[in-house]
Structures are given as structure tokens and as C-alpha cells.
């Protein structure tokens, strides 16, 4: 099981204020689907406009990234640059 | 594959070869956006709004169209109405509808310089005359420039369909506040009550332009069958293609974008302004159209970065442990939503290991050009407030500013305030190197001061493509999909040469157009050496495998029995047989007989770009009589992962510092009471020049990123994050006055000295 942390206000709104929970998923794609099942709209929000930090490694615009067992997952806004 | 098990074995990476684009640039041969010329080409010109905020009642183009030499006139009616749709094509979220209306005003003009029509004519003079003949009837509306005035009740409203996002319940009235963001860690209110020392401050920054030397420019040509070509200077040919296709209702495959050399971007060329207009004019006239902005156009109509208000409160114990940190950010977005307040909020406290943090930010529209990305978007603004407050805290605690930062520094295992647990970071190492730098031992004289400030930027990866082609003579061409704004051609060639085991002089790097290389996200986010470097390295590895297979074929042995070393194939051992080594050039010369051309292209979606940290130390001298600040010394220490071409990395650090110093001391937009910009040129908008600065001492710390084949991290954005606070802290040290408002120009320094303003600190 991966432990998911939500710190931003947008995602928190979709989890009903829940900031920590466990999810069974071994890829970002499966995480997105599971998030959408539990918190309708959150998976789409993550896929479209958020990044997923897996054990500190920030991944975005990918559904393929593997999620190792017992990972720490952070849902954060997508990052750009200049 | 990781190539840095032993960095000492690297033969190309880490060296300083001559720049592949250097000769053309210093001799004037390099071809920039405005240099393209085609037979029958027309010149485009834009009719711009003279008002900060007005409703467009009518546009009459008849006189312009009747002018001899005018071949086409376009207004918003020539572009499809775009539905509201968020997209991540460029830097940061951009709404296609807003972008369309930013390129060409539809119902209202939202800032002075907003485009309302465009013409194409047979000469520049006729185009300008035609633009002047276009008659626009306006209903002038009240305007608002300042961010806090735009947030106030009763402020002139820019959009009646913008409702503040991120608040609950959803507002019923539209607002200039487009979004509220919030990041919370721990319990700030409770922790603040335990603090033994509290410092607070309110800081303001002005919008500043990226001030690239080359104005926006493009040439567009649409054929009778709808096939279009665009030559332009941008930070991403694929970005230009995507935006133009959307804004004009075209297929991606109908637009081919050729990247020109780029005379600076710094984030400001991650959007389109001219390209859709030039395409529309070309489509209508049937002729190629060139459009070039003047410097005034650049200032009036292209994105600066936000100005902002930063309110900071830090609480600490007497031994220097920060127990609570609070930050409020109000950011100008310009005419459409989308300021970098979110990354500003996320980066605000990313240098520190804190348990209790609260950051709230507001994205606010006002009657200015829509902001564009600028190096580490948002981070320098919040860092100005945070790092000034940390300096005040050090003074209140009577602690050395580096020692205070060391005590609270983020390190591997720190849970960042924006969420993730950090790993493979080199922040502490930058503090250590700054502390031990010889510049720290220089004694300061009267009216001189020393300031320390730190900075963080995420860096990103993303989609990139790279190709490696072996020529028949053994030389190599590397093609990447990213415009070279900071030395990426050199670094691509070097990484390919390292993998291939050949001298970098035998590798020619080029930037491919949208039809000749796989998709690549734009050049920005300090991502190219990381992500595109990964693609190029992998392509080179594939080429090595092919070279080994070709050698094996020539020797009639198994490919597994071939080793590749220093650009030459060798039998792997005595069992492989005895053969004369085959250099790359010899294998290449026989490639036709062993299977055809040797080439590989790799596309990746690179993840895990390591974050960058920097510690800067600035020494200044303040002339108390004039208020002028002289930068005496500037030391910029940065964790760069692995410097592929150290000279370019140092250049990135020095360039970022220079822009930050300009932001700190001089740069600002000056609007009059009508909301019109009064300083749209480099005479009145003063960027630093060489004589304003000493040699900037760039110090590279290398804590490799394990996700990159050579350990590289992005380096182009972090160096602009600390300078404003470093300069402000040095001024505070020199004259005992805390400067809260940028730019810290001579009149403001004089005024602060006259007022005898004191640093804010309370126990």
C-alpha cells in the first residue's frame, strides 16, 4: 500500500478535507484510477494538472511511473518553469 | 544507464570545449527570428490599444484595406472563438481562450498595447500607415494597475466570468481575484505561540520584464493547400505549433515550425504573440508575412513577471530553531488569470526543514500585459520576503546568518513544506561552501555591508526527443527538439561524445524543426540538459550497440563478443578471436555494406529532475549622499548535480544573478494615472550592464542526480531566486535600514535613510 499525502487546497477540496490515506496502486495510472474511484474528480485533477511525488521524486504527465510498495506519495500542483 | 560510477573517467563531460554556435554568433552570421526572408514577403504591423481598459464598440478597417500596398487586414473576427480550456502546452497552465484574446482583443482591451487588429503590406511604412488608418471606437472603462487595489471591493472588474477559485463556497460574484492557493503543514498558530522570537515583514516587488535582447519576431507562410510554415524565435517550436493550431483551428500536421536562433527568452518566449497573427495574415493574403516587435511593443504587450506583495511572519526559539513560518502572497497576473503564485507559495520555505508552515496566495488580474514565465517563476518574489525575514531573525537572535540557515536547512529526508520528502539535495553543501569562500574573509569598510540569501527551484523533466546520426566519415550529428537558450547544443554534443567515446569536435549538434524530430516539450523549467540529455544519451547508447553489431558483422563474430571503448570496437577477449580494432570512422565507412545508415532516435518522458539549491553572498557599498548601491563582490554557490559544460553553467549562474540584481536595484514599470506605461524602453527601464557589476564568483557544488545518466540537475533558474534578498540584506548590513520595497533604487534608499526606518523585530 502507498501512503498518499495531500497538502494543496485544490486537492483537499476534492478529498473532503482528508489529507492522508492509503491506496493500493503500483503505477501512477492505477493510482489515478483509484483516486477517482474514492474521491470522484480527484483522479482527473491529478492527471490533468498535478504532479505526483513518489518517495520524493517528482513525476508529472505520466501514467507509467511505477510506485514501489509502501511508497510515500504526495499530490502537488504541476510544476513548470521559465 | 548511468555513466558516472567514476567521474574521473569522464573524458568530455565536465570539460570546456569551444561553443558550437559561438563563431556564428560573434560574427553576426547566426539567423534569428527577424532574419528570415522569402520571395514576395509582406511586412506585418499591429494596431494596439491606447487605453488600459476599454470596451471595443467598433473596428473600421476600410481605409486601411483601401490603401495601395495593403494585402490583408485581420481582427478577432478572423480567428475562431475559442472555448475556455486549460492547457499545459507552454509554461504553466494557460487557458486557450485567454491566449486567443491576448493575441487579439475580442470585446475589450485589457491593457495598453493590447492588439486589436493587424495588417500585412508590401513595406514596413505602408503597414504602419495602414495600422494607423484602422479606426477603433472605444468605450473607455475605469482601470486598475495595483494588485491590492485590484483586490479591493469596488475595483474595476476585468472579467465578468472570473470567480475566485479555491474558496468555499464558490463565490456568486465575479472578482479580479482569480484563485486562492494554500499550503499547510502542521499547526502554525499553535507553534507560533511557542516562539520566543518573532519577526514580521511586509515586502513588495514590481513586475519586471525578462528583457531578452531579441524582440519577438517571426515569418509565416501559408500555401494555397493550407500547409503552413513558421520561422520564429521561441523557447519551443512544438509549443508554437500547438498554440497556433489551436488558435487558428488548424491541424498540427499542417503547421511546420522552424526554430531560429533565440536572443534570450528567460521564460518570456514560452507563449505566442505574433505567430498566429502572421499565419492569419499569410492565409488571407496568400503571401509570406514577417512580423517583428519593436522594443516598445515588447514592453507594452508581452509578459513580464508578476509584481507582488509578500507578508512574512517567522517564529523561532532563542537557540535559532524556526518553529513556525507564515506567508501571504498577492500576485499580479496581468490581464488574464495565471500568475506564478502557486510555485511562489510552494518554494517559499523549501530551503528549510520546518514542521509548521502556512502559505496563502492570491492570483489577481489587473490592467497590465498578461504575465509570462520568468526564470523560476514566482520563487524570487517569495524568496525576497522570506530571506529578508530570515536575515532579520538572525539579527534578532544575534546569530550568524549562515549558521541560522544551517540550523534550519533542508537536507535529505526533510519533508518539504510543499509536500515531498527531499532526497539527493545539496543545500547544506552550498551553505558550507559559501561560509568557507575567500570572499567571506574580506573585511568591509564604512557604508559597506554583506548579505546572505538562499534559493530553491524544483527543475522539471518531461517529454524530449534526441537523435544521433553517424555520418559516413565517422563524424556525428545530434538532433534535439529544443531551442538552445543556454548551451544545450554544447551539452547534447558532449553527452553524445562521452557515450560514443569520441572527441566532441566530431559531433555537430543541431536543433530540429517540428517535422524532423519527435515531440519535445519546450525549453524551460531548467529541463533540457536533464531530459533531452537523457534522450540523446540513450540514442547514443543505441548507436554504440549498432556499432558493436556492425563490427561483429565485419569480424563474423557475435555482437556480445565486441567491446566498445574510446570510440573503437575491440574483441571482448581472447575467445572472441584476434582482430584489429575497428574505429568508429572505419565502421561508418562500411555501414552501407553492413546494414545501412547507423542512426537512432529516442523519445523519453523524463521524471525525477533533482531540485536545485543556491546560497548567495553579496557585498555592497551604499553612497549615503546619492543612495546609489555598488555591488562590490557577489558569490553564488549552487548545487548543479553535475556540470556538463562548466563554463555554460557558470554563465547561467552569472546571468541569473545579473537579472536578479537588476530586479533588486533598478527595474520597474512606471504607469501614469491613465494606466499607460511611461518607460517602455531600455533608456528608462534600466537593466544592469557590465559596468554595474563585478565579476560574479560562481561556485559549483556537485551532488549528482541519480536519475540522470551523468548526474545533471537543472541550473538555469535557481540563480535568480536569492539575489534580491541578498542585495537587500547587504544594504541592511551597510546602512542599518531594512528595505521592504523593490526596486531599491537611489531615491528609495535616500528616502529610507531620511526616514531612519528600522528593521522590524519583536519579541
Residue-wise pLDDT for B360-417, tens only, equals 999 999 999 999 999 999 999 999 999 999 999 999 999 999 999 999 999 999 999 8
Q: What does residue B464 show for φ and ψ, rounded to 5 degrees?
A: -150, 150
- Based on the fold, state whether residues B646 and B570 are members of the same structural domain: no
Question: What is each CA distance from B406 to B390, B435, B535, in whole angstroms?
Answer: 12, 10, 37
pTM: 0.96
Tell me which of B606, B626, B643 is where a domain ends: B606
Are residues B479 and B577 part of one domain?
yes
Would residue B185 count as lying in a domain? no
**Is any Cβ of chain A less than 8 angstroms from the Cβ of B607?**
yes
Contact B644, B710 (CB under 8 A): yes
**Can you give the residue range of the structural domain that contains B750?**
378-459+610-755
Dist. CA A67–CA B46, nearest whole Å: 51
Interchain CB contacts (distance < 8 Å): A and B: 114
Residues of A with Cβ-Cβ distance to B93 under 8 angstroms: 49, 78
Q: Which of B184, B376, B526 sits opposite A7 (nearest CB)?
A: B184
Q: State the cell numbers at B757.
A: 526606518
Report if residue B229 sits inside a domain.
no
Sheet with B582-583: list strands edge to edge: B562-565, B568-571, B582-583
Is B684 inside any structural domain? Answer: yes
Phi, psi of B295 (to 5 degrees): -65, -35
Residue A24 lies in a domain: yes
Grid coordinates in use for B8?
A: 574521473
Q: Which of A64-78, B77-91, B694-708 has the lowest mean pLDDT?
A: B77-91
Angle between helices B488-500 and B533-555 (to 10 degrees): 30
For position B761, what pLDDT does the model report?
A: 42
Distance CA B298, CA B46 (A): 12
What digits encode the pLDDT tens for the residues B193-217?
999 999 999 999 999 999 999 999 9
Residue A67: domain span: 2-77
In chain A, how many domains are there? 1
What pLDDT score was predicted for residue B6? 75
Q: Considering only CB atoms, which chain B residues are within 8 Å of A9?
A: 166, 180-183
Residues of B in contact with A14 (CB under 8 A): none
B467 and B594 housed in the same domain: yes
Count of CB atoms situated within 10 Å of the CB of B630? 15
Asked if A61 lies within 8 A of B605 by C-beta distance, the reply is: yes
Of B166, B182, B525, the CB nearest to A81: B525
Q: Once rounded to an integer, what is the mean pLDDT over residues B333-342?
A: 96
Residues in a beta bridge with B140:
B54
Pairwise CB contact (< 8 Å): A58 & B714: no
Q: Which of B568, B543, B573, B541 is nearest to B558 (CA)?
A: B573
Instruction: Report if residue B646 sits inside a domain.
Output: yes
Asked if B375 reaches chain A (Cβ–Cβ under 8 Å), the answer is: yes
Of the candidates B136, B133, B128, the residue with the CA atom closest to the CA atom of residue B76 = B136
Contact flag A82-B714 (C-beta cutoff 8 Å): no
Reduced to 3 DSSP states, what percent helix, strand and coil does chain B have, rounded to the nearest 5?
30, 25, 45
* Strand spans (E) along B347-461: 357-365, 448-457
Calculate the alpha carbon distances from B342 to A41, B70, B413 in Å. 21, 45, 23
In a domain, A41, yes or no: yes
Residue of B371, B379, B419 to mutate, testing the A interface (most A Cβ within 10 Å of its Cβ): B419
**Domain boundary, last residue among B567, B587, B606:** B606
| Chain Cα centroid distance, residue B618 | 23
Angstrom distance (rounded) from CA B574 to CA B430: 49
Q: Into how many domains does chain B fold?
A: 2
Chain B, residues 686-715, CB within 8 A of chain A, namely 707, 714
- Contact criterion met (CB below 8 Å) for B480 and B464: yes
Query: Locate cell 493550407: which residue?
Result: B226
Check if B609 contacts A (Cβ < 8 Å): yes
Decide if B359 is inside a domain: no
B308 touches B332 (CB < 8 A): yes
Interface membership of B91 toward A (CB under 8 Å): yes
Q: What is the mean pLDDT of residues B511-532?
A: 97
**Residue B183 is assigned to a structural domain of this protein:** no
The whole-angstrom separation of Cα A53 and Cα B421 is: 9
CATH no. for residue B501? 3.30.365.10
Grid-cell match 482583443, residue found? B105
Statement to judge: residues B440 and B513 lie in one domain? no
Chain B residue numbers with beta carbons less than 8 Å from the beta carbon of A80 are 88, 90-92, 343, 373, 377, 460, 524-525
Residue A8 lies in a domain: yes
So what's the ipTM on this one? Answer: 0.91
Does B180 contact A59 at a Cβ distance shorter than 8 Å? no
Residues in CB range of B217: below 8 A, 6 or more apart: B32, B33, B34, B232, B233, B260, B274, B290, B291, B292, B293
Q: What is the DSSP code string of B702-752?
A: ----TTSTT-----SSGGGSSHHHHHHHHHHHHHS----BS---HHHHHHH
Task: Select from B572, B587, B606 the last residue of a domain.
Answer: B606
Rounded CA gap, B466 and B478, in Å?
Answer: 7
CA A7 to chain CA centroid, Å, is: 11
Q: Same domain, yes or no, for B614 and B731?
A: yes
| Grid cell at residue A58 | 517528482
Categorize the per-residue pLDDT at B759 as very low, low, confident or very high, splitting at 50, 70 and 90: very low
User: Does residue B514 sit in the same domain as residue B432?
Assistant: no
Q: Does A65 contact chain B (CB < 8 Å)? A: yes
d(CA B383, CA B723): 9
Question: Which residues of B are less than 8 Å from A53 in CB distance?
Answer: 419-420
Q: Searching chain B, which residue's CA lies closest to the CA of residue A78?
A: B92
- List, for residues B342-363, the tens digit of each pLDDT value: 999 999 999 999 999 999 999 9
Tell me chain B's radius of gyration from C-alpha atoms. 27
B182 contacts in A (CB within 8 Å)? 8-9
pLDDT digits (tens, 9 = 90+) for B419-463: 899 999 999 999 999 999 999 999 999 999 999 999 999 999 999
Give the rounded distance of the alpha carbon of B555 from its chain centre. 50
What pLDDT digit, counting tens, does each position of B556-584 carry? Answer: 999 999 999 999 999 998 889 999 999 99
Helical axes B96-103 vs B275-285, angle rounded to 10°:
70
A 9-28 residues inside an 8 A Cβ radius of B: 9-10, 13
The whole-chain average pLDDT of chain B stands at 96
The DSSP-derived string for B160-229 is TT---BT-SSPPSS--SEEEEEEEEES-HHHHHHT-SEEEEEEEEE-------SSPPEEEEEE-TTS-EE
Please determine, for residue B233, whether its predicted confidence score (pLDDT) is greater than 70: yes
| Residues with Cβ within 8 Å of residue B597, at least 6 apart in sequence | B469, B470, B591
Tell the residue number behind the cell numbers 495531500, with chain if given.
Answer: A6
Nearest CA in chain B to A59: B607
Binning pLDDT at 50, 70 and 90, where does residue B763 land?
very low
Structure confidence at residue B93 (pLDDT): 64
Comparing CB atoms, the residue among B185, B607, B717 nearest residue A57 is: B607
- Give the CA dihedral B661, B665, B667, B668, nearest 10 degrees: 140
Query: Looking at beta carbons, which residues of chain B come within 8 Å of A78?
Result: 88, 93
Q: Is B266 on the interface with A (CB under 8 A)?
A: yes
Phi and psi dihedrals of A43, rounded to 5? -60, -45
Asked if A57's CB is within 8 angstroms of B181's CB, the reply is: no
Of the candidates B374, B101, B120, the residue with the CA atom closest to the CA atom of residue B246: B101
pLDDT for the residue numbered B760? 45
H helices, E strands: number in chain B: 19, 28
In this structure, the dihedral spanned by the alpha carbons of residues B29, B34, B35 and B36, taken in order and rounded to 10 degrees, is: 140
User: Over the stretch A20-59, which tens digit does the pLDDT of each residue have?
Assistant: 999 999 999 999 999 999 999 999 989 988 999 999 999 9
Together in a domain, B586 and B494? yes
Residue B57 · residue B137 · CB < 8 Å: yes
Cβ within 8 Å, pair A80-B609: no
Supply the pLDDT for residue B572.
94
Q: What is the pLDDT of residue B402?
A: 98
Q: Is B192 contained in some domain?
A: no
Which chain A residues contact residue B184 at CB under 8 A?
Answer: 7
Per-residue confidence at B256, pLDDT binned at 50, 70, 90? very high
Q: Contacts of residue A44 in chain B, CB cutoff 8 Å?
A: none
Q: Which of B261, B667, B717, B763 is catalytic?
A: B717
Q: Are residues B628 and B712 in the same domain?
A: yes
Give the E-state strand segments of B430-474 in sequence order: 448-457, 462-470
Determine the Cα–Cα distance for residues A73 and A56; give it in Å rounded to an integer: 8
The reply to whether A82 falls in a domain is no
| B window 329-358, beta carbon within 8 A of A | 342-343, 346
Say if the Cβ atoms of A78 and B609 lie within 8 Å: no
How far apart are alpha carbons B107 and B7 in whole angstroms? 59
Q: Are residues B446 and B488 in the same domain?
A: no
Q: How many CB atoms lie within 10 A of CB B683?
A: 8
Q: Is the peptide bond before B617 cis (omega within 30 degrees of 0)?
A: no
Reply yes or no on whether B139 is catalytic: no
| B624, B738: one domain | yes
Q: Do B412 and B475 belong to one domain?
A: no
- CATH code of the domain containing A29: 3.10.20.30
Q: Does A70 touch chain B if contact means CB atoms closer than 8 Å? A: no
Give the pLDDT score at B543.
Answer: 98
Nearest to B72 by CA among B100, B101, B92, B44: B44
Backbone angles phi, psi at B216, to 5 degrees: -60, 140
Q: How far is B608 from chain A (nearest CA, A)?
A: 5
Amino acid at each position: 500500500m502507498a501512503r498518499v499525502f495531500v497538502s494543496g487546497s485544490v486537492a483537499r477540496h476534492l478529498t473532503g478535507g482528508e489529507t492522508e490515506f492509503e491506496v493500493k496502486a503500483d503505477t501512477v495510472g492505477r493510482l489515478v484510477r483509484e483516486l477517482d474511484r474514492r474521491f470522484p474528480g480527484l483522479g482527473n485533477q491529478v492527471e490533468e494538472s498535478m504532479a505526483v511525488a513518489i518517495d520524493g521524486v517528482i513525476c508529472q504527465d505520466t501514467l507509467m511511473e511505477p510506485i514501489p510498495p509502501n511508497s510515500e506519495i504526495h499530490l502537488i500542483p504541476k510544476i513548470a518553469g521559465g | 544507464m548511468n555513466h558516472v560510477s567514476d567521474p574521473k573517467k569522464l573524458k568530455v563531460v565536465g570539460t570546456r570545449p569551444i561553443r558550437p554556435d559561438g563563431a556564428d554568433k560573434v560574427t553576426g552570421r547566426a539567423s534569428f527570428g527577424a532574419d528570415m526572408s522569402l520571395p514576395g514577403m509582406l511586412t506585418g504591423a499591429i494596431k494596439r490599444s491606447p487605453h488600459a481598459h476599454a470596451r471595443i464598440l467598433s473596428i473600421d478597417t476600410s481605409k486601411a484595406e483601401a490603401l495601395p500596398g495593403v494585402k490583408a487586414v485581420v481582427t478577432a473576427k478572423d480567428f475562431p472563438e475559442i472555448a475556455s480550456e486549460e492547457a499545459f502546452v507552454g509554461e504553466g497552465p494557460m487557458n486557450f481562450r485567454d491566449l486567443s484574446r491576448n493575441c487579439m482583443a475580442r470585446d475589450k482591451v485589457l491593457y495598453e498595447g493590447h492588439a486589436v487588429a493587424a495588417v500585412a503590406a508590401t513595406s514596413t511604412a505602408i503597414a504602419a500607415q495602414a495600422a494607423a488608418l484602422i479606426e477603433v471606437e472605444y468605450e473607455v472603462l475605469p482601470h486598475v494597475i495595483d494588485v491590492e487595489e485590484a483586490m479591493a471591493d469596488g475595483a474595476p472588474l476585468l472579467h465578468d466570468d472570473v470567480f475566485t477559485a479555491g474558496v468555499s463556497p464558490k463565490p456568486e460574484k465575479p472578482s479580479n481575484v482569480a484563485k486562492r492557493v494554500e499550503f499547510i503543514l502542521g499547526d502554525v498558530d499553535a507553534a507560533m505561540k511557542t516562539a520566543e522570537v518573532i519577526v514580521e515583514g511586509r515586502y513588495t516587488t514590481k513586475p519586471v520584464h525578462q528583457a531578452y535582447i531579441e524582440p519577438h519576431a517571426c515569418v509565416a507562410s501559408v500555401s494555397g493547400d493550407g500547409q503552413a510554415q513558421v520561422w520564429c524565435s521561441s523557447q519551443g517550436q512544438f509549443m508554437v505549433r500547438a498554440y497556433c493550431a489551436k488558435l487558428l483551428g488548424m491541424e498540427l500536421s499542417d503547421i511546420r515550425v522552424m526554430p531560429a536562433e533565440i536572443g534570450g527568452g528567460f521564460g518570456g518566449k514560452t507563449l505566442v504573440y505574433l505567430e498566429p497573427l502572421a499565419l492569419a495574415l499569410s492565409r488571407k493574403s496568400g503571401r509570406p508575412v514577417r512580423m517583428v516587435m519593436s522594443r516598445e511593443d515588447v514592453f507594452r504587450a508581452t509578459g513580464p513577471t508578476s509584481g507582488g506583495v509578500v507578508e512574512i511572519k517567522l517564529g523561532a526559539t532563542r537557540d535559532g530553531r524556526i518553529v513556525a513560518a507564515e506567508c501571504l502572497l498577492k500576485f499580479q497576473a496581468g490581464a488574464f488569470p495565471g500568475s506564478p503564485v502557486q510555485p511562489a507559495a510552494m518554494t517559499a520555505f523549501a530551503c528549510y526543514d520546518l514542521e509548521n508552515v502556512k502559505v496563502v496566495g492570491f492570483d489577481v488580474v489587473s490592467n497590465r500585459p498578461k504575465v509570462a514565465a520568468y526564470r523560476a517563476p514566482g520563487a524570487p518574489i517569495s524568496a525576497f520576503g522570506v530571506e529578508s525575514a530570515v536575515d532579520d531573525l538572525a539579527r534578532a537572535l544575534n546569530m550568524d546568518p549562515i549558521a541560522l540557515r544551517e540550523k534550519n536547512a533542508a537536507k535529505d529526508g526533510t519533508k518539504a513544506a510543499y509536500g515531498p520528502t527531499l532526497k539527493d539535495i545539496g543545500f547544506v553543501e552550498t551553505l558550507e561552501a559559501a561560509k568557507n569562500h575567500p570572499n567571506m574573509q574580506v573585511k568591509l569598510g564604512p557604508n559597506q555591508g554583506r548579505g546572505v540569501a538562499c534559493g530553491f527551484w524544483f527543475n522539471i523533466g518531461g517529454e524530449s526527443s534526441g537523435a544521433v546520426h553517424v555520418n559516413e566519415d565517422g563524424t556525428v550529428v545530434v538532433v534535439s527538439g529544443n531551442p538552445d537558450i543556454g548551451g544545450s547544443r554544447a551539452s547534447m554534443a558532449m553527452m553524445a561524445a562521452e557515450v560514443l567515446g569520441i572527441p566532441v569536435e566530431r559531433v555537430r549538434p543541431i536543433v530540429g524543426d517540428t517535422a524532423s524530430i519527435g515531440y519535445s516539450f519546450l525549453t524551460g523549467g531548467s529541463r533540457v540538459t536533464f531530459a533531452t540529455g537523457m534522450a540523446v544519451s540513450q540514442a547514443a547508447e543505441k548507436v554504440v550497440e549498432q556499432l558493436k553489431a556492425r563490427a561483429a558483422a565485419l569480424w563474423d563474430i557475435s555482437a556480445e563478443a565486441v567491446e566498445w571503448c574510446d570510440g573503437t570496437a575491440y574483441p571482448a577477449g581472447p575467445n572472441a578471436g584476434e582482430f584489429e580494432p575497428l574505429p568508429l570512422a572505419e565502421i561508418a565507412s562500411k555501414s552501407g555494406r553492413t546494414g545501412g545508415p547507423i542512426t537512432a532516435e529516442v523519445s523519453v518522458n523524463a521524471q525525477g529532475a533533482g531540485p536545485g539549491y543556491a546560497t548567495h553572498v553579496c557585498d555592497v557599498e551604499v553612497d549615503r549622499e546619492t543612495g546609489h548601491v555598488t555591488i562590490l563582490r557577489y558569490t553564488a554557490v549552487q548545487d548543479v548535480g553535475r556540470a556538463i559544460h562548466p563554463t555554460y553553467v557558470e554563465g547561467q549562474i552569472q546571468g541569473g544573478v545579473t537579472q536578479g540584481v537588476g530586479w533588486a536595484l533598478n527595474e520597474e514599470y512606471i504607469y501614469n494615472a491613465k494606466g499607460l506605461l511611461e518607460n517602455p524602453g531600455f533608456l528608462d527601464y534600466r537593466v544592469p550592464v557590465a559596468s554595474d557589476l563585478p565579476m560574479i564568483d560562481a561556485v559549483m557544488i556537485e551532488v549528482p542526480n541519480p536519475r540522470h545518466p551523468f548526474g545533471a540537475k537543472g541550473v538555469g533558474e535557481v540563480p535568480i531566486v536569492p539575489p534580491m534578498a541578498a542585495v537587500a540584506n547587504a544594504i541592511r548590513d551597510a546602512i542599518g535600514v531594512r528595505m521592504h520595497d523593490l526596486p531599491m533604487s537611489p531615491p528609495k534608499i535616500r528616502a529610507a535613510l531620511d526616514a531612519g526606518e528600522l528593521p522590524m523585530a519583536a519579541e
